[in-house]
């Protein structure tokens, strides 16, 4: 039966390929021109300070995201996009009308505008390192910041590629301004080549993906897309069809530190800071991020803050399956119970909240099959992955818009060693354009 299925699938894909026009020949696509456009756009986009902030309680969480959003909306209009909108939360949306007469599904491409909080995103100064020949790329000699195949394994596959880094002291913003640059270059390409036949296309640029608070405000029904792909992945050929299930937890420890420490013995004294420290120590080491990989989840503490007699610990839980998630929560609950036994004069409470879910079962097989076919037609080997994290697509998929994630050439994320591989970005652009062509001959 499995053999029959794959034979039928191969036949279907073959028929699709026959019906599909050869977009590269039709439009005389030139890789060198595409790369130059990507470099120009990306090195401009990273100069916008769009670092998000999880303390403001606003969407967008920082004003720089709205500045960037306005610039993107203006550029979309320049290249013929219609119904360009920028809402009060910083979402930029636009439509590209179909050039094909055949009814086809509405396909969307999405990328996020914000950058991570771990390293500054202000005053980014990009450096373009043409034709990488191997060895180390020095980002900042004075600070001794460099990337090489040892600390950046993907560089081993990047010989001959153009690499973009920051200049030290900031992240680059490759996550996810590579995706933004690829999508905008796609928009310009379709504008410059009206002979490219395609169905209706939607574009969206979103705020605050890095802090997980923006996408829930996205108007999915109003967007009116049938299928979407985020461009927020890393290595060549990556297609992310699965993410973690994600929960956050807050453990609160209340003691009595108002008693003079010299009189603490045989008194109501209880050290809430020690309670929190014991809790952290009691969490199993084998369930920490640095001891897990592949399909194993983890528990990780983000912050520990103290205010008088109260210490609050915040953290995250990640797991691919409900069973593993339940097991990790049980480990946290056991640590809480043990702390209560050790510190009977104090109190300890735990609150667990949902963040996002594994979107694996929300993605139609057709979306995966066409993405795989698009890559193969561009001589790219598909690599179907499960992300050890989440994307905007995790939330969008459960909001009714299935959204797997495509590679976009971003590496060493959230660090001063972050870099973008322009040749992988260009391959992502070709994959997206090939997807546009493939979806244009699908039944609506």
Please, are residues 206 and 392 in contact by the beta-carbon 8 Å criterion?
A: yes
**CATH of 245-356 among 3.40.1160.10, 3.40.640.10, 3.30.70.360, 3.80.30.20:** 3.30.70.360
16-243+358-439: CATH superfamily: Zn peptidases (3.40.630.10)
Of the pLDDT bands very low, low, confident and very high (cuts 50, 70, 90), residue 7 is very low
Q: Which two tokens stand for residue 291?
A: 């001891």
Note if the pTM is more than 0.95.
no
Residue 205 dihedral angles phi and psi, to the nearest 5°: -120, 130
Q: What is the mean pLDDT of residues 61-88?
A: 98
Of the pLDDT bands very low, low, confident and very high (cuts 50, 70, 90), residue 124 is very high
Among residues of the chain, what percentage have pLDDT more than 70?
Answer: 95
In the block, tokens 């640029």 appear at 205
Give the C-alpha separation, 300 to 171, whole Å: 23
Examine the pLDDT at 296 and tell me if it is beyond 70.
Answer: yes
Give the C-alpha separation, 205 to 83, whole Å: 14
Of the pLDDT bands very low, low, confident and very high (cuts 50, 70, 90), residue 19 is low
- Beta-carbon contacts of residue 51 (< 8 Å; ≥ 6 apart): 62, 64, 114, 115, 116, 117, 120, 121, 122
Q: Is there a cis peptide before residue 181, judged by omega within 30 degrees of 0?
A: no
Examine the pLDDT at 14 and tell me if it is beyond 90.
Answer: no
Q: Burial of 369 by CB count in 10 Å (0-12 exposed, 13-18 middle, 19+ buried)?
A: middle
Which tens digits make up the pLDDT trace of 415-427?
Answer: 999 999 999 999 9
Of the pLDDT bands very low, low, confident and very high (cuts 50, 70, 90), residue 10 is very low
Active site residues: 114, 209
21 or 119, higher pLDDT: 119
Which tens digits make up the pLDDT trace of 77-99?
Answer: 999 999 999 999 999 999 999 99
Give the C-alpha separation, 160 to 181, whole Å: 21
- Beta-carbon contacts of residue 329 (< 8 Å; ≥ 6 apart): 247, 249, 317, 352
The per-residue pLDDT for 142 is 96
The per-residue pLDDT for 353 is 95
Give the C-alpha separation, 173 to 13, whole Å: 37
Q: Which two tokens stand for residue 307?
A: 């205010």
Domain ranges of the chain: 16-243+358-439, 245-356
Give the C-alpha separation, 311 to 276, whole Å: 7
- Which residue in 82, 106, 94, 116 sits closest to 183, CA to CA? 94
Q: What is the mean pLDDT of residues 163-173?
A: 97
């Amino acid at each position: 039966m499995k053999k029959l299925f794959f034979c039928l699938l191969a036949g279907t894909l073959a028929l699709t390929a026959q019906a599909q026009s050869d977009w590269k020949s039709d439009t005389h696509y030139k890789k060198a021109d595409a790369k130059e456009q990507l470099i120009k756009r990306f090195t401009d986009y990273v100069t916008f300070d769009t670092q998000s902030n999880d303390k403001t309680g606003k969407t967008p969480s920082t004003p720089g995201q709205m500045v960037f959003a306005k610039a993107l909306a203006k550029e979309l209009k320049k290249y013929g996009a219609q119904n360009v909108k920028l809402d009060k939360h910083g979402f930029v949306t636009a439509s590209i009308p179909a050039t094909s007469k055949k009814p086809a599904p509405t396909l969307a491409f999405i990328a996020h505008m914000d950058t991570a909080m771990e390293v500054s995103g202000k005053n980014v100064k990009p450096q373009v390192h043409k034709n990488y020949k191997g060895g180390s790329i020095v980002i900042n000699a004075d600070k001794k910041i460099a990337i090489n195949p040892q600390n950046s394994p993907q560089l081993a596959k990047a010989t001959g590629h153009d690499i973009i880094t920051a200049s030290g002291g900031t992240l680059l913003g490759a996550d996810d301004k590579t995706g933004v640059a690829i999508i905008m270059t796609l928009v310009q390409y379709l504008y410059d080549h009206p002979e490219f036949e395609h169905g209706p296309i939607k574009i969206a640029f979103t705020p605050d993906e890095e802090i997980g608070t923006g996408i829930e405000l996205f108007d999915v029904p109003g967007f009116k897309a049938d299928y979407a792909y985020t461009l927020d992945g890393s290595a060549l050929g990556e297609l992310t069809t699965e993410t973690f299930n994600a929960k956050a937890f807050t453990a609160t420890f209340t003691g009595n530190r108002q008693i003079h420490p010299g009189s603490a013995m045989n008194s109501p004294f209880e050290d809430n800071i020690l309670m929190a420290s014991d809790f952290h120590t009691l969490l199993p080491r084998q369930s920490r991020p640095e001891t897990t990989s592949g399909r194993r989840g983890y528990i990780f503490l983000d912050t520990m803050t103290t205010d008088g007699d109260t210490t609050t610990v915040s953290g995250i839980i990640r797991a691919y399956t409900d069973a593993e998630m339940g097991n990790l929560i049980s480990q946290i609950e056991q640590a809480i119970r043990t702390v209560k036994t050790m510190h009977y004069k104090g109190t300890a409470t735990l609150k667990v909240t949902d963040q996002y879910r594994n979107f694996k079962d929300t993605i139609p097989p057709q979306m995966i099959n066409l993405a795989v076919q698009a890559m193969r037609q561009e001589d790219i080997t598909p690599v179907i992955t499960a992300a050890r994290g989440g994307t905007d697509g995790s939330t969008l998929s459960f909001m009714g818009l299935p959204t797997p994630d495509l590679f976009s050439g971003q590496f060493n994320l959230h660090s001063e060693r972050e870099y973008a591989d322009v040749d992988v970005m260009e391959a992502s652009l070709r994959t997206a354009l090939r997807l546009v062509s493939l979806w244009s001959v699908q039944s609506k």
